[in-house]
Amino acid sequence: MISVVVPAFNEKDAIVGTIDEIRKMLDGAGWSDAEIVIVDDGSTDGTADRAEAAGARVIRHPTNGGYGRALKSGISAASHPIVAITDADGTYPIARIPELKAMLDRGFHMAVGARQGAAYRESAIKHPLRVLLRWLVEFTAGQRIPDPNSGLRVFYRDEIVTFFPQLSNAFSFTTSSTLAYMLTGRFVVYLPIDYAERTGVTKVRLLRDSLRTLQYILQAILFYNPLKLFLVVLAVLTAAGAASISAGIALSCGWLTTLGVGFWLSIVPVGAIGCLAEVVRQGRRN
């Protein structure tokens, strides 16, 4: 029926409670043949041992390979066609998984819990960064996305594994999977969920993970819709050329005018490269 995959790195204080919550959810839904897969991503605090003692199936990584790498291992090893993922830190309402799974029965390819509440907003720094990330992902996908990197999701195993080569091995796994589904025309639905305070210390590194996420957004555009990126570059070159030429004429500054002409001349080769990238994408798709 369903496999619940949980990546865990040094989560000894929360892992048993997480497994108990999953088991309670599975019993309530009547999913007696479901499985709980804990992927211990190189923990050094005994997380794997506690998970095994709690009755979960445990996959061990010898060293820390990253959030996305752990999810790929767990999803690949899952025994059932439908997979749910959640975190091991007690932040996600695991009891909502049956509602998300029901969305697949209605024809959606992926169902996601969209986080809300004070614990999700967190600091004055994280919230603006999340807003910026959401804007970039929405621009890339061309549609509204309430929570692009939520870690509570349900999807079909055989479908997501086809995207593994393009999905991040790190924190950006969820964001890159969101873009992969949306940019290939799949249906993704979001259900609002309450997000709780985590147990233990966060593993997220704000600057590092934000830069990696930006990297994967650019990679997703280039892989799935390269022309969109080149159109943005063309718009910037056109605007910069117009501004430079106008300023050069107004200030009688020859080098500004020359710079503006250079911006405009670069539009032709950049546009040609964009068209070539789109042709390559179409050929790969065919």
Q: pLDDT (tens digit, 9 = 90+) per residue, 220-279? A: 777 777 777 777 777 888 888 888 989 888 888 888 888 888 888 888 887 777 777 767
Per the model's pLDDT, the better-predicted residue between 138 and 118 turns out to be: 138
pLDDT reported for residue 110: 98
Segment (H or E) for 116: strand 110-116
Mean pLDDT of all residues in 136-162:
90
Rounded to the nearest integer, the mean pLDDT of the chain is 86
Closest CA to 48 of 4, 11, 89: 11
pLDDT reported for residue 121: 63
pLDDT reported for residue 241: 85
Assess whether pLDDT exceeds 80 at residue 131. no
Residue type at position 197? E
Distance CA 280, CA 123 (A): 43
User: pLDDT class for 80, splitting at 50, 70, 90?
Assistant: very high
CA distance readout (Å), 272 to 238, 269, 276, 278: 15, 5, 6, 10
CA-angle at 65, arms to 59 and 69, nearest 5°: 70
pLDDT reported for residue 284: 61
For residues 26 and 48, the answer to whether their CB atoms sit within 8 Å is no
Q: Which of 160-164, 188-192, 271-275 has the lowest mean pLDDT?
A: 271-275
Closest CA to 121 of 130, 132, 112: 130
CA distance readout (Å), 114 to 5, 59, 280: 18, 28, 35
pLDDT reported for residue 200: 57
Distance CA 148, CA 145 (A): 6
Distance CA 229, CA 87 (A): 33
Distance CA 18, CA 40 (A): 14
Assess whether pLDDT exceeds 60 at residue 124. no
Distance CA 64, CA 55 (A): 23
Helix residue ranges, H only, the chain: 15-29, 47-53, 67-77, 97-105, 118-121, 126-141, 157-160, 173-182, 206-224, 226-251, 254-265, 267-285
Q: Give the three-class secondary structure for 84.
A: strand
Query: Both tokens of residue 26?
Result: 């599975």
